[in-house]
């Protein structure tokens, strides 16, 4: 290869591909966003339809490695249908804070659970020849100023908590791709962090795949190449191309280093089959029955039954009041780069109608839970201008189906510069009710909204950076308009691009809505009072749980707490169905009969939820994240802003290794619901613990065997969990740490022996000064049960010598 050819494959050609090298017959490598589906090369909005799978935290709640491997294999089919070779997934950052906007996309607060699930996902994906790209390496546990923030994390915490999923992905799953995070790590961008990308990843772990930047997440030429970043994305090249050629010629990058990066890229291309893939790029929407069935099954297995005083499963003859903002809206995914255009969306209302019949159901919305005004929908005309002043004649006219756009890479059939254009959107709106409506607009760019020619919302004149569109957009600007029911109004949205901070995109969203009020809650109360059971569907949506924006807290948005309290007072058989990307405060917990957390379970959401509510499927989930009583109980909550959300460019991981349940144990604090907790429609016991520690002294290996019995009247599943405690350590350690688990499904009355295996790392902590893992002499306690707070079986084992393990 010539120098120019080598350099060409070290940066993207466009947003989703690496260029071919025609002279040598090297094909084009294509990637696509995941992790809960394969979107293909389209925008975050619209595009070719794809299967929408459960989000990461829902996968985490299954605690089922075999199921996750099935999902990985199915996602490989989806990637192939989009003509791509790699999926930008899985996301394995740790749930450090309950307010991280991207927790929905990640598996757990616990590194071991995250790591085991990631291994299953990667094996399923790569077993079908599709490359995994585990992300974001490392320290991206918040979305606040994430493209510039420095995560200040000590090495022991990195090794014991944040690096574990990546280490397992390399050593146990053989991942072919790693994506660097946007943030700095201890002052240095991860995309040019030599210790992270070379010392740890390649030299210590033996990684031979590629490291790619997150989109626009690399900031230098020689520094990134020399540190170990193989691929700059997206294209066209910004800090590579001619700049890299010049750096090689000047000696800033050696020929040997360049060849290492090129070899890694060629090895990847060979693994995923792109090296000799010269087929025309095509994207298909393959709505497969087997994927539908898998998504539905996984959605039910992810549901966590937190409380059940006999109201579930619903009795077939029950009259059911279906209430709440998430009842008739299918909340199937979070926001950000995980978004895709799903084949379809099944709402809980539709799922219950299919199973119970509409005659048994009544409905009231009660209140809203939107972060922004409800999106304006309907066919709209879009005029594009090849300037930023809406001047002259439009160079292209298109249509869209709602008042939102996410323009990136290729706009208006290529007739405008995607970073320098303007657009005018023309729509109509016919309100159902008369009243003072709220008109909202937020944009990555300048935008205005006119209703019948009158300026109503202005995000142009005084545009200010906010927390939308990956922190490239402003916060929503809201105006009001008095509108009459049944009358049609002209709505015009004017948009122009502006200079971007990090991500080169243009976007807007516009909504119009009539605020909910007391009358809506009163109607919900009447509906509940006239039913046998009231099922309240509440929570958040992808506007709240989204990449690019953390949550302000974990209170339910809007008047949802008030709605639940009012409904529970009206009907003693109140069931609460939560859909969120993490925990919420539950001030009404003692007033309701049932709480079930169903996350964002993908396109089959309503069917999966209805399966759980009616009992046709078991709620098989267990919490992958501790649910605190209040946000202030969380380990990242602090009066010191540098601890969270960050101050002057730094966020300090002050809690160290005491993340999640480790924190609550340390303080002796009882959470609302503990890590690993979940009920079912049957009961289980674990008994007869036996431990084989004959190899413990020699190599650190131990096995623990228990008998699991379904003591209830129907089939079901549980998760047997094993935690290790170091009775006396020379260094501070958590009271216990998850080190093994097994998902077990049994028929009523059935028993089975389950063996859990521990290796030396299960007992070790990291010694920063000595740069090794250490198993100390002394006693270790094994604790086994069905949640971090329910561990009835214990056994103590002893070492008489220390054991040092390499990194």
The residues that are catalytic are: 214
Query: How many angstroms separate the CA atoms of 346 and 66, rounded?
Result: 26
DSSP letters, 212-263, are EPPTT----SHHHHHHT--BB-SSSPSSSTHHHHHHHHTTSS-HHHHHHHHH
Which residues are 784's β-sheet partners?
Answer: 722, 793
In sequence order, what are the residues at sequence separation of 6 or more whose Cβ sits closer than 8 angstroms to the Cβ of residue 698?
Answer: none
Question: Six-digit token pair at 805?
Answer: 């393990």
Separation between Cα atoms, residue 768 and residue 410, nearest integer Å: 48
Please classify residue 801 by burial: count the beta carbons closer than 10 Å to its beta carbon, then call 0-12 exposed, 13-18 middle and 19+ buried.
Answer: exposed
Which secondary-structure segment (H or E) carries 493? strand 489-496
Q: Quickly list DSSP for 7-50.
A: HHTTB-SSSSEE--BGGGTBPPEEEEE-SSS---SS-SSSSS-B
**DSSP state for residue 313 in the 8-state scheme:** S
User: CA-CA distance, 234 to 409, in Å (whole number)?
Assistant: 9
Give the side-chain half-sphere CA count within 13 A for 355: 26
Tell me the backbone φ, ψ of residue 118, rounded to 5 degrees.
Answer: -60, -40
| Residue 217 · residue 181 · CB < 8 Å | yes
Nearest C-alpha neighbor of 538 from the set 511, 576, 489:
576
Q: How many CB atoms lie within 10 A of CB 499?
A: 8
Helices 518-529, 560-570: axis angle to 10 degrees equals 30
- Distances 707 to 191, 756, 781 between C-alpha atoms, Å: 48, 11, 19
With contact defined as beta carbons under 8 Å apart, do 45 and 71 qualify?
A: no
Half-sphere exposure of 143 (CA within 13 A, CB side): 29
| Contact status, residue 80 vs residue 34, Cβ threshold 8 Å | no
Give me the DSSP letters along 436-469: EEEEEEEEESEEEEEETTEEEEEESTT--EEEET
What is the C-alpha to C-alpha distance for residues 617 and 250, in angstroms, rounded to an integer? Answer: 65
Q: In which element (H, E) is residue 513 found? A: strand 506-513
How deeply is 302 buried, as exposed, middle or buried, from its count of CB atoms within 10 A (0-12, 13-18, 19+)? buried
Other CB atoms within 10 Å distance of the CB of residue 10 = 24
Helix, strand, coil abundance in the chain, percent, nearest 5: 25, 30, 45
**Residue 528 DSSP SS3:** helix
Is there a contact between 94 and 655 (Cβ–Cβ < 8 Å)? no
Contacts for 211 with CB less than 8 Å, ≥ 6 apart:
137, 177, 178, 179, 180, 197, 201, 228, 229, 230, 231
Q: Both tokens of residue 84?
A: 């791509």
Cα angle: 727, vertex 729, 734; to 5 degrees:
70
Cβ pair 525, 562 in contact under 8 A: no
- 122 touches 129 (CB < 8 A): no
Please give the distance of CA 612 from its chain centroid, rounded to a whole number.
Answer: 23
Alpha helices in 465-593 (DSSP H): 518-529, 560-570
């Amino acid at each position: 290869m010539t120098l120019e050819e080598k350099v060409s494959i070290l940066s993207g050609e466009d947003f989703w591909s690496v260029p071919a090298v025609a002279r040598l017959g090297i094909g084009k490598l294509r990637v696509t966003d995941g992790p809960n589906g394969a979107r293909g090369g389209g925008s975050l909005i619209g595009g070719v339809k794809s299967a929408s799978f459960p989000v990461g935290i829902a996968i985490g709640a299954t605690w089922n490695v075999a199921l996750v491997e099935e999902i990985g294999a199915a996602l490989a089919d989806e990637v192939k249908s989009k003509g791509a070779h790699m999926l930008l997934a899985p996301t394995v950052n740790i749930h450090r804070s309950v307010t991280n906007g991207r927790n929905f996309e990640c598996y757990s607060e616990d590194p071991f659970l995250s790591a085991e699930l990631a291994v299953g996902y990667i094996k399923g994906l790569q077993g079908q020849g599709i490359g995994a790209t585990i992300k974001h390496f490392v320290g991206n546990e918040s979305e606040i100023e994430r493209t510039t923030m420095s995560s200040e994390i000590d090495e022991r915490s990195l090794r014991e908590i944040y690096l574990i999923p990546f280490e397992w992905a390399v050593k146990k799953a053989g991942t072919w791709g790693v994506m660097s995070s946007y943030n700095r790590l201890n002052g240095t961008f991860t995309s040019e962090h030599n210790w992270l990308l070379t010392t740890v990843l390649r030299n210590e772990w033996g990684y031979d795949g590629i490291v790619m930047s997150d989109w626009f997440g690399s900031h230098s030429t020689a520094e990134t190449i020399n540190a170990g970043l193989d691929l700059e994305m997206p294209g066209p090249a910004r800090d590579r191309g001619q700049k890299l050629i010049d750096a090689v010629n000047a000696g800033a990058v050696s020929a040997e280093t360049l060849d290492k990066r090129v070899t890694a890229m060629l090895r990847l291309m060979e693994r995923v089959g792109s090296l000799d893939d010269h087929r025309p790029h095509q994207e298909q929407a393959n709505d497969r029955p087997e994927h539908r069935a898998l998504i539905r099954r996984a959605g039910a297995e992810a549901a966590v039954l937190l409380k059940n005083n006999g109201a579930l499963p619903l009795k077939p003859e029950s009259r059911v009041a279906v209430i709440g903002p998430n009842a008739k809206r299918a909340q199937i995914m979070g926001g950000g780069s995980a978004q895709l255009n799903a084949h379809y969306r099944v709402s809980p209302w539709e799922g219950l109608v299919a199973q119970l019949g509409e005659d048994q159901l009544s409905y009231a919305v009660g209140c809203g839970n939107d972060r922004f005004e409800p999106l304006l929908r309907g066919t709209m005309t879009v005029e594009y201008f090849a300037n930023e002043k809406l001047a002259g004649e439009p160079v292209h006219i298109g249509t869209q189906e709602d008042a939102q756009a996410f323009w990136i890479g290729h706009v208006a059939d290529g007739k405008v510069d995607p970073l320098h254009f303007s657009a005018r959107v023309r729509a109509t709106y016919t309100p159902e009710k008369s009243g003072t409506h709220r008109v909202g607009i937020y944009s990555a760019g300048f935008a205005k909204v006119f209703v019948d020619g009158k300026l109503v919302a202005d995000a142009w004149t005084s545009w200010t950076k906010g927390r939308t569109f990956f922190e490239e957009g402003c916060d929503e600007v809201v105006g009001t308009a008095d509108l009459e029911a049944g009358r049609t109004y002209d709505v015009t949205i004017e948009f122009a691009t502006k200079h971007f901070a990090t991500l080169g995109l243009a976007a807007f969203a516009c909504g119009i809505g009539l605020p909910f009020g007391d009358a809506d809650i009163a109607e919900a109360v009447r509906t509940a009072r006239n039913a046998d059971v009231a099922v309240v569907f509440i929570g958040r949506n992808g506007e709240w749980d989204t990449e690019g924006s953390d949550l302000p807290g974990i209170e339910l948005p809007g008047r949802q707490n008030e709605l639940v309290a009012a409904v529970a007072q009206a009907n003693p058989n109140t069931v609460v169905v939560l859909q969120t990307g993490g925990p919420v405060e539950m001030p009404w917990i003692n007033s309701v009969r049932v709480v079930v957390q169903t996350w964002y379970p993908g396109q089959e959401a309503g069917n999966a939820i209805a399966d759980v509510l009616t009992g046709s499927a078991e709620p098989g989930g267990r919490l992958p994240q501790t649910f605190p009583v209040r946000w202030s109980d969380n380990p990242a909550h602090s009066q010191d802003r540098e601890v969270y959300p960050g101050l002057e460019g730094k966020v300090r991981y002050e809690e160290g290794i005491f993340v999640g349940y480790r924190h609550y144990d340390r303080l002796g604090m009882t959470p609302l619901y503990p890590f690993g907790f979940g009920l079912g429609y049957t009961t289980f016991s674990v008994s007869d613990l036996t431990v084989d520690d004959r190899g413990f002294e020699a190599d650190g290996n131990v096995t623990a065997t228990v008998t699991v019995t379904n003591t209830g009247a129907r089939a079901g599943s549980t998760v047997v969990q094993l935690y290790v405690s170091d009775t006396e350590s020379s260094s501070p350690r958590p009271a216990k740490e998850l080190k093994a688990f097994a998902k077990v499904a049994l028929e009523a009355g059935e028993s089975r022996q389950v063996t859990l295996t521990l290796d030396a790392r299960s007992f070790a902590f990291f010694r920063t000064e000595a740069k090794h893992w250490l198993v100390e002499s002394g006693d270790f306690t094994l604790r086994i049960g069905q949640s971090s707070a329910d561990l009835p079986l214990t056994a103590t084992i002893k070492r008489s010598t220390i054991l040092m393990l390499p990194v």
